């Protein structure tokens, strides 16, 4: 399919990763020499400048994919590598004829290629797209884990510059708090800042290697632990924004529930109830995972020895995955809801639009074990008859 509205594309430009959008176009504008990196995400230059989007399926899109998931992955290929105003082709990665359509689009844009299906680079690029399809979100720390077996230029997994600045400040403040508890306020600031810099920024420093050796950890074990720790801090930092988004969403759901009361069958009632339950479960488990992290940090602060820090780093990857799953689901929910509110001239989602959007969002936020079947018929316009 063809996107003809250029402003649709410009809204996707972030210059980095976000939970819903992987903006490779913006990353190349931000890092012009990324095209020359020996460790590219894709072999194909056009794919290396695409947008990849996590998309909530709407009812009319169900037949376009072979997937039972409510969230699918959309690939957007700009027609021109440098000018978004010319529009783009797009397709779902989960569509049955995805590879053939991709080859067709590439042929239109770049000319035919001889037997592209037999190309080793094409096959590797398809595998990369499959990894992106399976990933629940495009948070940079989660993507690092998804591609753990490959050497990829880390700039592909960058936050946008504004978020990087905020996260860096949060990490240094957090490490300062840990330092104050462990060392006392007078000596904490400089030491905790040095530790944060060694752990999270100076990835090739001698001090970092000395710390790893003192902890008696292998290079892979140490790097996984540090990455997990920073990922945890990223999600804890994100929790404030998630909380604000959930407050707004729950308020909007209460307003929609009042509108829904005038309909005889109250089509939104079961969907809204399911969403509230899922949000409560997800947020509760996210808070529990955060509390586990704080308990591990407290043990490290209390003991203040190498063994305690080693334990923290060894537990960090599992804690990161536990927090990341719930944070990714809640972030997708709130960001998608905000996006659709912004599309409305009224600044809110109407009852009719909610009947289209909420079933997919309810499925997306639910854990698989808690997921009931959605009654699409009950949400159809024919059934939404007003009471009385």
Model confidence, pTM = 0.79
If one compares 233 and 383, the residue with the highest pLDDT of the two is: 233
Instruction: Please check whether residues 148 and 9 belong to one and the same domain.
Output: yes
Is 146 found in the same domain as 279?
A: no
The CA distance from 38 to 156, in Å, is 12
Q: How far apart are CA 205 and CA 210, in angstroms?
A: 9
Q: Are residues 9 and 102 in the same domain?
A: yes
Look-up of token digits 């913006």: 26
* DSSP characters over 239-280: HHHHHHHHHHHHHHHHHHHHHHTTBTT-TTHHHHHHHHHHHH
In a domain, 184, yes or no: no
Domain-located, residue 210: no
Which stretches does DSSP call E strand in 57-213?
A: 71-78, 88-92
Q: In terms of residue numbers, what domain contains 288?
A: 231-379
DSSP, collapsed to helix, strand or coil, labels residue 175 as helix
Mean pLDDT over residues 107-130, rounded?
76
Instruction: Please tell me what DSSP assigns to residue 386.
Output: B
Of 265, 279, 262, nearest in space to 337 by CA? 279
DSSP string, 305-370: SHHHHHHHHHHHHHHHHHHHHHHHHHHHHHHHHHHHHHHSTTSS--HHHHHHHHHHHHHHHS-GGG
Q: How far is CA 113 from the centre of its chain?
A: 33
Closest CA to 140 of 160, 168, 118: 160
Residues 31 and 145 occupy one common structural domain? yes
Q: Among 12-16, 173-177, 298-302, 357-361, which stretch is predicted with the lowest mean pLDDT?
A: 298-302
- Do the domain assignments include residue 335? yes
The verdict on 134 and 238 lying in the same domain is no
Helix axis angle, 269-303 to 219-260, nearest 10° = 150
| Residue 92: inside a domain | yes
Can you tell me the distance from the alpha carbon of 146 to that of 28, in angstroms, rounded to the nearest whole number? Answer: 22
What pLDDT sits at residue 273?
94
C-alpha span between 162 and 166 (Å, rounded): 6
Least confident of 54-63, 149-158, 222-231: 54-63
The 10s digit of each residue's pLDDT in 279-314 is 999 999 888 888 888 887 777 777 666 777 788 888
pLDDT of the residue at 105: 81
Task: Give the model's pLDDT for residue 277.
Answer: 94
Dist CA 160 CA 91 (whole Å): 25
126-147 pLDDT, tens digit per residue, is 999 999 998 888 988 888 888 8
15 and 111 in a single domain? The answer is yes
Domain boundary among 131, 152, 173: 152
More confident residue, 50 or 363: 50
Residues 110 and 248 in one domain: no
Residue 294 lies in a domain: yes
Provide mean pLDDT across the span 172-193: 65
| Residue 88 counted as domain residue | yes
DSSP helix/strand/coil, 184:
coil
Are both 125 and 243 inside the same structural domain? no
In a domain, 157, yes or no: no
Q: What is the pLDDT of residues 148-167, one digit of tens each?
A: 778 899 899 999 888 888 88
Domain shared by 147 and 238, yes or no: no
Is 175 within a domain?
Answer: no
Q: Which of 152, 173, 192 is at the close of a domain?
A: 152
- Across the chain, what does the average pLDDT equal? 81
* Same-domain pairing of 148 and 236: no
Q: Are residues 239 and 146 in the same domain?
A: no
Residue 291 to residues 288, 299, 334, Cα–Cα distance (Å): 5, 12, 23
Q: Are residues 138 and 264 in the same domain?
A: no
Domain count across the chain: 2
Mean pLDDT of 366-387: 46
Residue by residue, DSSP assigns 12-47 as: T--SSB-SSEEEHHHHHHHSGGGGG-SS-S-SSTTG
Among 152, 172, 199, give the residue marking a domain's end: 152
């Amino acid at each position: 399919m063809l996107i003809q509205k250029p402003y649709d594309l410009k809204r996707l430009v972030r210059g980095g990763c976000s939970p819903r959008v992987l903006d490779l176009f913006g990353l190349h504008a931000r890092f012009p020499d990324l095209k020359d990196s020996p460790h590219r995400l894709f072999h194909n230059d056009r794919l290396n400048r695409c947008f990849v989007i996590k998309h909530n399926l709407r009812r009319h899109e169900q037949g376009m994919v072979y997937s039972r998931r409510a969230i699918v992955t959309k690939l957007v290929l700009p027609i021109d590598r440098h000018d978004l105003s010319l529009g783009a082709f797009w397709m779902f990665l989960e569509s049955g004829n995805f590879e053939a359509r991709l080859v067709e689009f590439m042929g239109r844009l770049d000319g035919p290629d001889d037997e592209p299906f037999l190309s080793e680079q094409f096959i590797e690029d398809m595998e990369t797209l499959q990894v992106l399809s399976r990933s629940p979100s495009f948070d940079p720390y989660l993507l690092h884990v998804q591609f753990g077996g490959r050497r990829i230029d880390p700039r592909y997994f960058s936050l946008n510059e504004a978020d990087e600045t905020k996260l860096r400040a949060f990490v240094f403040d957090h490490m300062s708090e840990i330092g104050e508890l462990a060392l006392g306020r007078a000596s904490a600031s400089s030491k905790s800042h040095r530790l944060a810099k060694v752990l999270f920024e100076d990835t090739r420093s001698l001090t970092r290697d000395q710390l790893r050796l003192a902890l008696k950890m292998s290079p892979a074990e140490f790097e996984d632990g540090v990455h997990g720790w920073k990922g945890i801090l990223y999600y804890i930092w994100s929790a404030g924004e998630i909380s604000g988004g959930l407050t707004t969403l729950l308020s909007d759901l209460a307003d929609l529930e009042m509108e829904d009361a005038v309909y005889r069958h109250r089509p939104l009632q079961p969907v809204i109830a399911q969403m509230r339950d899922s949000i409560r479960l997800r947020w509760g488990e996210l808070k529990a995972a955060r509390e586990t992290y704080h308990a591990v940090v407290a043990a490290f602060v209390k003991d203040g020895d190498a063994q305690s820090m080693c334990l923290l780093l060894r537990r960090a990857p599992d804690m990161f995955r536990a927090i990341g799953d719930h944070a990714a689901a809640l972030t997708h929910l709130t960001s998608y809801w905000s996006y659709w509110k912004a599309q409305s001239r009224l600044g809110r989602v109407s009852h009719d639009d909610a009947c289209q959007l909420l079933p997919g969002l309810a499925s997306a936020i639910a854990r698989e074990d808690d997921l009931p079947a959605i009654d699409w018929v009950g949400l159809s316009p024919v059934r939404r008859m007003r009471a009385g």
